[in-house]
Amino acid sequence: MGLEEKLPSGVLLASVEKLAGYARKSSVWPATFGLACCAIELMATGGARHDLARFGMERASNTPRQADLMIVAGRVSQKMAPVLRQIYDQMAEPKWVISMGVCASSGGMFNNYAIVQGVDHIVPVDIYLPGCPPRPEMLMDAILKLHDKIQNMKLGVNRERQVTELEDARLRRLPLVAGLHPGGHG
């Protein structure tokens, strides 16, 4: 059964949003950013056994200007933090970040002054991936979840409306603090 049999009279009906989402999610270009042992699993994900190329991601970019996904693989030292932020700033918009492993997400076992206690102090994170280290299958699962997110990303005014709605929903979920909650007093 071909795609054409599912389309009404050969006309492709899709919104620009859906087409843009499909194109974007099918051509994500990751920036190479291995920082510690997690990077070995990241490299294994691109190898022949796991074959990240199946998802349109075989091209790992060595220049941030031709990358739109940062996979932070490993602990982030205080010294590396400004470099990481500079690379993020140079990446093309729209861009996404996966925090790979417990060290990148929270500092992990390195609860000390030398390591940033979570890369979300430096850049906004889209997906947190647990594990020490996460296996390539876990990274691929995170990437597929990110693809879903990219596919359903709104454009223009729809995006602004979506962001506002999400912010409102999160504010409503905050613990009840007098004066902050819409129904609170004080």
Which positions touch ligand SF4 (CB under 6 A)?
A: 36-38, 74-75, 101-103, 108, 132-133
- Nearer to ligand SF4 by Cβ, of 132 and 171: the residue is 132
Any bridge partners for residue 30, and if so which? 69
Report the distance separating Cα 124 and Cα 104, nearest Å.
12
Q: Which two tokens stand for residue 90?
A: 């140079």
- Nearer to ligand SF4 by Cβ, of 56 and 131: the residue is 131
Report the distance separating Cα 6 and Cα 25, nearest Å.
22
> Measured from the CB of residue 67, what is the shortest distance to ligand SF4 in angstroms?
21
Report the distance separating Cα 87 and Cα 105, nearest Å.
18
> Measured from the CB of residue 28, what is the shortest distance to ligand SF4 in angstroms?
22
> Measured from the CB of residue 142, what is the shortest distance to ligand SF4 in angstroms?
14
> Measured from the CB of residue 169, what is the shortest distance to ligand SF4 in angstroms?
31
| Per-residue burial over 97-112, b = 16 or more CB atoms within 10 Å of its CB, e = otherwise | bbbbbbbbbbbbebee
- Nearer to ligand SF4 by Cβ, of 41 and 68: the residue is 41
- Nearer to ligand SF4 by Cβ, of 37 and 43: the residue is 37
Residue whose entry in the numeric block shows the structure tokens 């929270």: 106
> Measured from the CB of residue 73, what is the shortest distance to ligand SF4 in angstroms?
7
- Nearer to ligand SF4 by Cβ, of 69 and 105: the residue is 105
Report the distance separating Cα 28 and Cα 57, nearest Å.
6
